[in-house]
Every structure is written in structure tokens, then in C-alpha cells.
Amino acid sequence: MKKKEIFLYGSLLLLVALLLPAQQEVYLSIKEGMPAIPLAIPPFIVHESSSKTQEAAEILHQTLSDDLKYSRIFQELPESYYSYIRPLNPKQIFFKDWESIQAKILFVGEISEDDGNNVVFEGKVYDVKAGRGIFGKRYQANQSLIRLAAHKMADELLRMWGEQPFFTSKIVFASNRDGNWELYMMDFDGHNQIRLTFNKVTDYMPAWSADGKKIAYTSYQGANAILYVLEIYEGKRHEVYSKGTSFAPAFSSDGRRLAFCSQEEGGNSEIYLATSEGKGIRRLTFNKGTDTAPTWSPTSRQIAFTSDRGGTPQIYVMDAEGSNVERVSFGGTYHDAPAWAPTGDRIAYVSRVDQIFDLYVLNLRTKQIIKLTEGSARNESPCWSPDSRHLIFSSNLNGTVQLYSIDYDGKNLRRLTSRGENKLPDWSR
Amino acid sequence: MTEGRFDCIKESQGSIKQEGKSFKGGHMKKILILSLACILVFGFMLSCAKKVEEAPPPPPQVKEQPEVEKVEEPAPPKEPELTEEEIFMRKSLEEINREAAIQMIHFDFDKFFIRDDAKPVLEKNAAWLKKWDSTQILIEGHCDERGTEEYNLALGEKRAKSTYDYLVSLGVSTNRIKTISYGKSQPIDAGQNEIAWAKNRRAQFTIIAK
């Protein structure tokens, strides 16, 4: 009797689920243009001062301060303000002092060394107006990992503010710094650049899996441009597709699927879909035009891509099953490399006008377009930060092709690479 | 020749002197020895004189030495003449590719159709492929830097495919040709001008089997 009931309810639920209309994309908006929160980060207090702890304190302070500035959420007070008030005493904080120099948040950092020669970094965050602590965090790190400790602390501050933390995220990219094109990885700020692939052939167009443990990429093995998935922390690699030239991989945000491009019999590039393990491959687009550069919506329900089915390369959006194709880019004759922002409301892409490539951001709700870069260079391959406030892209604006970071509003352009040529970045989630 | 005679005389005088020194024994002995010496000297002189008269021209020195026979290597068996095919088969793939028997072709900006100037090149290539009908080739499609990465990879593949189609239309078997696209990752001229771009927009051939 009971079993029957359960079965009945179960099937009823299934029916309801099936009847529910396909959910619309949920757009999260970021608070653009809001004033940044004034934050005081006075120099860190060093206990058991030694050259090691002093140096660590400086690196930690600089890294944390750079991260928070980069976030666009916080605005660090000028250091000169700290001389207007009594020096900081972590045991007795005069909140009125900090309020008088316009600080809303006070970060107090203390550095010491433990028995195992590790640096101990303790941070306390105070709400100045309320005059009380919000949270505290203590990290213990070996000298070589102190930047990571600062990034983790910065992540905590973003989390506290209800923002998406991303200071420990990684950028994977292709570089020819050691001869041929190989894959490399670095921190979001350009530090810790390390090589991932070691061979004599071209390894190209990497893309992160949702969990940040796998990278899909194209490797030119003799007569084949094969799509592989590399488990970077296991050192294992397996083949996904080897027919034709297989490229432009993109893992879905839910981590379950992998979209990529390859050729059908006629040599025409089409979009294919596989599981995240590279199994169960099926074709998603069927037409005479070139279909390429897939990018997933954050809900994994839609895919934006480039197609020249209308005569010129333009950006289109379709359901992840290949239906409901809709053109979303207008007003140009050459659009490519769409990148769907993790907030879901925008797509960044490249537009070519008179041999100049610039980045644009299309707002899917308002259909408004913002031009992100301005110059006489080739700005290419945009990818979004996990919080959708920053983009990394490649550009030859200083001669050679290098990676640059820019904010969603075109501000804070900065260069991240310099050795060899560097391109095709992808930002881990 | 005169030098030879002078030597003879000198030597005989020397021998008389020596005999004289040993004359201290019996008279008879003395006479005997003297006469013997006289005979010897006379005989010697005679023989010397005879030599002078009858000395034939000395044989040429070469003849006096043993005849030298030069040892020559026996002629090796001659290899049968190689056919053109055998010469070809002896070469490595790298050598054949280096000789660039199959020429590359070029394309117009953003286009993948076979240009008129590329057709005779492909006809030559097809003739070569028909001659060496065991070979297999890889057609690499390349683009200039003025296209985006993704779209260029697709365009490079289309260039390789239209080249493939043209060779097939000239009678080259489909199972001998493979295609690949490098997009803009392998330019042959790093310049940023029309000449470099025109060079980089190409379909290039690599012989991958023979």
C-alpha cells in the first residue's frame, strides 16, 4: 500500500516537473556605478619582528590592498590619512578616529611566526560606525604561499559583502614563450605563471571545467588537431574528438557538458556536444554556414556562438539542445568570440572594423552595446571574471600579443604577461 | 765512369802497402808472397783495365730495382641502375618535403575559393600525386592575423577543404588526402603588412606517407 502511494506521488511530481515551462534565464545584476566602500588598511603589525616577518607583512599588505582595489567594491583610503589620527593599537581601537578619516571598514592585520617557521597572518575586520568586529581570520602559510594567504583573506572580504570571491581563481592561456604554443596557467593578477603542457606540438585554445580541475584544449598531433581533456592535478589526458580540426571547447557552468567545434564531412565547422568526460558526442548545428566559438549561459540552458549563416560572422544564441536560434549581434560585419558573463545578463564579443578588433559588451536585457576597448590594435578572446566585473583578453596594442585585464566599464587596463606571445585566455570559475 | 776507375787503382796501392808490412819471415816465403801479390795486383789491374775497356753502359737504375706492381682494387660489381621510383622511395619524408615537390597556394582575404593563379599549381600538384600514387598528403589551411582565432580556424579548414575538393576533381583519390586547420597560429611571415598577410593566407602541403 505504502509503496504504491510513494510511486503515485513520485509520478505526480514527475508530471508536474514536465509540465513546468522551461525556466527563463535568471539575470543577476551587479551594482554598477555604486560608490566603493571606504576601507582603511593601515600597515600590518609585526610581532617577533624579523626580516622574514617584515618582508611577509609588506607582501601581504600589498597583495591584499591590490586585490581589494581591483575588486571595485572597496576603496582604500590614502595612506597619508593614517598620520592624522592616533597610531593603531589593536588592543584598543579608537573607532571615532577612523570615522573621522571617512573609513567605513577597518582591516587590522597582525603578522607573526610560528614554531614551524610559517608566517601567521591574522586579519580582523571592523565596522567603524558600529565600533565592533565583523569577522576575523587567521592563516598560516609557508613563505612561498603568502600571496595565496592574502588572496584568501581578500576572498573572505568579498564573501562578507555578498560578492562572488575570485582572488584565488586561475587563468589558463596559450604562450609561445618556450618555442612552440603550449598551455600555461597563472593567478588572476598575472603572478605564478606556470607551464602545463610539455611537447613539441602546438597546444591551443584551452578552457576550464566548472570545477577548475580539467582543461579541454586542441593539440596538433601530426595530421590531426585533436580535442583533449587534461586533468591538470592528476596529469592524465584523454582524447575527446579527433575528426577534422576540433577546437573552441567550452564546459557548461553546471559541469556536465562540453561544447566544441569540429567539421562535418564538407569541411564546415559545426558545434558539437559531449558529456564533460567527452562521451556521447552529438552534433548541435546543421547548416551551410560556419558555426563556432560556443559559450554557455551561467544556467547551462543556452549557448551563444558565432555563425556566418546570414553572410557575415555574427553572434547567435540557441538552446543547449540546438533549437530556438536567435541572432543577437547587429550593426557590424564581423563579430566573433562571444563570452557569456557569469551574471547572465551580458555577452562580451569581438567586432572587427577596418582591420581593428575591439571588445564590446552587449546587454541582453536592454540590447544596449558598450564599447570596451578603444584603439588601433587587435583586442581578442575576452573572458569574464567569476564576478563579471573584469575581463581578460589578448591584445597587440604594444606590438606583441599579450594578455590584459580590463574592467566591465573599460577602466583599469593593465598588462599581465610579457614573455613571448600570450593569448587565448580562459578564467576559472 | 772515370770515377769508378780511379777507385780501382787506389785500392790496389793500398793492398801492396799492407803486404809489405808483413814481409819479415823467410825469403822464399817473401818471394812467394810477393809474386802472389804481384799476380794479384796484376790480375786486379787487368781486370780493372778490362772493365774500363769493356764496361757496357750500366743498366738504367729502374731496371736494377724490382719491378713494382701496383695493387688495384678489383672492380666492384656494378649496382643495377636505380629507377626514378627507387630513388624516390630511398628518400625520407623530410627530404621529399624539403624539396617542396608540392607547391602551396594562396587565398584572398577572408575567402576560401581557389584563385585562378592557384589552379595551375594544383594541376601540377595533382600530376605529382598521380605519379607517386602511394603518397598521402596533409593539406594545412592557414590564415592571416586579421581574423579572430575561432573564425580563422574555421576559415583555415574551409581553405583546406576547397583545396582538397579541387585535387579530388583532378582525379586524386580522397583517401590519400587529409586536412587540418592552423588558423593564424603558424604564419610564415611575421610582418604586419599586405605582403606578409598575402603570404600567410595559404594552403600548404605536407607529404605524410609514401
By CB atoms closer than 10 A (0-12, 13-18, 19+), residue B62 is exposed
To the nearest whole angstrom, how far is the Cα of A301 from the nearest Cα of chain B? Answer: 22
pLDDT at A276 over 80: yes
Residues A223, B165: Cα–Cα separation, whole Å? 18
Residues A93, A104: Cα–Cα separation, whole Å? 14
pLDDT at A306 over 70: yes
**Which pLDDT band, with edges at 50, 70 and 90, does A251 fall under?**
very high
Side chain identity at residue A291, one-letter code: D
The pLDDT tens digits for A5-15 are 544 454 444 44
Which residues from A are below 8 Å from B when comparing CB atoms?
181, 202, 204-205, 220, 222-225, 244-245, 247-248, 261, 263, 266-269, 290, 292-293, 306, 308, 313, 334, 336-337, 350, 352, 355, 357, 378, 380-381, 423-424
> Domain A170-427 sits in which CATH superfamily?
TolB, C-terminal domain (2.120.10.30)
Q: What is the mean pLDDT of residues A374-384?
A: 94
CA angle B54, B57, B60 (to 5 degrees): 150
Substitution target in A245, A290, A334, A335 with the highest count of B β-carbons within 10 Å is: A245
Q: How far is CA A407 from CA A36, A74, A413, B148, in A?
A: 14, 14, 7, 22
The pLDDT tens digits for B178-209 are 999 999 999 999 998 999 999 999 999 999 99
State residue A404's pLDDT score. 98
Residues B90, A318: Cα–Cα separation, whole Å? 55
Q: Under a CB-based contact definition with an 8 Å cutoff, are residues B163 and B139 in contact?
A: yes
Q: Under a CB-based contact definition with an 8 Å cutoff, are residues A195 and A206 in contact?
A: no
Residues of chain B found within 8 Å of residue A378, distances taken between Cβ atoms: 145-146
State residue B181's pLDDT score. 96
pLDDT at A203 over 90: yes
Task: Give contacts of B 144-173 with A, CB under 8 A.
Answer: 145-151, 153-158, 160-162, 164
Residue of B nearest to A293 (CA): B150
Residue of B nearest to A421 (CA): B185
Q: What is the mean pLDDT of residues A324-336?
A: 95
To the nearest whole angstrom, how far is the Cα of A173 from the nearest Cα of chain B? Answer: 13
pLDDT at B30 over 90: no
Residues of chain A found within 8 Å of residue B162, distances taken between Cβ atoms: 267
E strand or H helix that includes residue B128: helix B119-131
State residue B57's pLDDT score. 66
More confident residue, A375 or A283: A283
User: Does the domain spanning A37-160 belong to CATH 3.40.50.10070?
Assistant: yes
**Which pLDDT band, with edges at 50, 70 and 90, does A48 fall under?**
confident
pLDDT at A412 over 50: yes
State residue A359's pLDDT score. 97
The pLDDT tens digits for A179-197 are 999 999 999 999 999 999 9
User: What residues does each domain of chain A span?
Assistant: 37-160, 170-427
* Of residues A189, A196, A208, A195, the one with CA closest to residue A147: A189
Report the residue from B164, B185, B208 with minimal CB separation from A202.
B185
pLDDT at B19 over 70: no
State residue B3's pLDDT score. 45
**Which pLDDT band, with edges at 50, 70 and 90, does B87 fall under?**
confident
State residue B29's pLDDT score. 67
User: Does the domain spanning B90-209 belong to CATH 3.40.440.10?
Assistant: no
Report the residue from A181, A202, A293 with minimal CB separation from B150.
A293
Residue of A nearest to B164 (CA): A267
pLDDT at A147 over 50: yes
To the nearest whole angstrom, how far is the Cα of A317 from the nearest Cα of chain B? Answer: 17
Residue of A nearest to B178 (CA): A223
To the nearest whole angstrom, how far is the Cα of A28 from the nearest Cα of chain B? Answer: 28
E strand or H helix that includes residue A187: strand A182-187
**Which pLDDT band, with edges at 50, 70 and 90, does B67 fall under?**
confident
More confident residue, B126 or A10: B126
By CB atoms closer than 10 A (0-12, 13-18, 19+), residue A381 is buried
Residues of chain B found within 8 Å of residue A355, distances taken between Cβ atoms: 146
Q: What is the mean pLDDT of residues B132-159?
A: 95
Least confident span in A92-96, A234-238, A273-277, B11-15: B11-15
Substitution target in B151, B176, B182, B208 with the highest count of A β-carbons within 10 Å is: B151
State residue A72's pLDDT score. 93
B178 at A interface, C-beta within 8 A: yes
* Of residues B175, B165, B163, the one with CA closest to residue B205: B163
Q: Under a CB-based contact definition with an 8 Å cutoff, are residues A57 and A111 in contact?
A: yes
State residue B90's pLDDT score. 84
pLDDT at A362 over 50: yes
Q: Under a CB-based contact definition with an 8 Å cutoff, are residues B103 and B125 in contact?
A: yes
Residues A240, A275: Cα–Cα separation, whole Å? 10
Report the residue from B146, B157, B208 with minimal CB separation from A245.
B157
CB contact under 8 A, B208 and A223: yes
Q: CB pairs below 8 Å between A and B: how many? A: 89
Residues paired with A423 in a beta bridge: A174
The pLDDT tens digits for A75-132 are 999 999 999 999 999 999 999 999 999 999 999 999 999 988 899 999 999 999 999 9
State residue B97's pLDDT score. 86
pLDDT at B23 over 80: no
